[in-house]
Structure 1
């Protein structure tokens, strides 16, 4: 499953690591947009197979942030 950005913004903080087991609803990254912090959460439980962004990177709505299997 791909975790995608729900809006454009900067990656303020990555809250998981590659290889980590996470639960549905757990924050994956926190975006900053218009001085607000927006958590992006996992829609399913699984293992983080890949992180596609780095802290400080800019993402657009729909960009893939992470892959969970």
Structure 2
């Protein structure tokens, strides 16, 4: 299992996937907004979304697990 973690603290701006979705390496999964910047979090490899741990509007800390990829 691969965990996609927040690169910095911020607010979840967009969740582009849901549990059960198939994704490809490089596909944007989550976009965080921090200090008026949008930071895209991408799949590190091909797989299936096992769990989405955040929703749009949630505040996350650096290294929080956003998505679990199987």
Could you state the TM-score of these two structures normalised by the residue count of structure 2? 0.95
* 1:19-59 Cα distance to aligned partner (Å, 9 max, x none): 00000111110000011111011111100010001110001
**Backbone CA RMSD of aligned residues:** 0.6
Unaligned runs of 5+ in 2: none
Matches within 5 A, 1:10-29: 10-29=11-30
Could you state the TM-score of these two structures normalised by the residue count of structure 1? 0.96
Matches within 5 A, 1:1-69: 1-69=2-70
* Consecutive aligned runs of 4 or more in structure 1 exceeding 6 Å deviation: none
Give the length in aligned residue pairs.
69
